[in-house]
Amino acid sequence: MKKRYICIGLGIIIISILAIIVVPKYLVKGDKKVKFSVLETSEVPERIKEVLPQYLADERALGCRVGDEIYVVVTRGEKQTGGYTVEVEGISEKKTKDDGIHLTVHVKFNDPDVNDIVMQGFSYPFTIVKTNLNQMPEKIQLEVVYEEED
């Protein structure tokens, strides 16, 4: 009788462990965090500097391959004054059925406070990050949180 309870108990434990391992993969739907580092202006590859001006007027995220490295450029569009910023908070990757990649770039757009003293003139806020990806994404989606600075 005791052996039967021990077998049932072990069976429940094994099923629980398998559920803990398998179920999150289906709940998360294959999304995986992408490691990245924000680049300083001096670190931006020349090729990206050359093409960046044609994208600055739009609010978007785009991928760039330079050599073996994959970069993500997030632009905020044209602003009437300075004081606007772009902060990449995270990047998640989802594999497609045909082994492609779809990225979601999570960003925070900060706006200047109405009482801030800011540069007068047009500005084009952007951020460039270097990723650990080894293939270009097929699609990049931008998820934005707008926040006014205190």
Query: At 14, which amino acid appears?
Result: I
Residues 7 and 69 occupy one common structural domain: no
Residues 104 and 118 occupy one common structural domain: yes
Number of domains in the chain: 2
Structural domain containing residue 10: 1-29
Residues 47 and 1 occupy one common structural domain: no
Where is 50: in which H helix or E strand? helix 46-51
Residues 52 and 111 occupy one common structural domain: yes
Residues 5 and 45 occupy one common structural domain: no
**Residue 24 pLDDT level (bands cut at 50, 70, 90):** low
- Residues in a beta bridge with 120: 81
- Distance between CA atoms of residues 107 and 133, nearest Å: 18
Q: What is the pLDDT of residue 46?
A: 96
DSSP annotation of 8 = H
- Per-residue pLDDT tens for 54-109? 999 999 999 999 999 999 999 999 999 999 999 999 999 998 888 889 999 999 99
At residue 130, the 3 state secondary structure works out as: strand
Residues 48 and 13 occupy one common structural domain: no
**Residue 9 pLDDT level (bands cut at 50, 70, 90):** low
| 119-148: average pLDDT | 92
| Alpha-helical runs (H) found in 29-147 | 46-51
Q: What is the pLDDT of residue 114?
A: 85
Q: Is the pTM of this model over 0.85?
A: no
Residues 1 and 55 occupy one common structural domain: no
Residues 9 and 59 occupy one common structural domain: no
Report which of residues 119 and 92 the model is more confident about. 92
Residues 73 and 20 occupy one common structural domain: no
Residues 21 and 92 occupy one common structural domain: no
Query: At 104, which amino acid appears?
Result: T
* Average pLDDT score, the chain: 86
Residues 141 and 72 occupy one common structural domain: yes
Residues 19 and 78 occupy one common structural domain: no
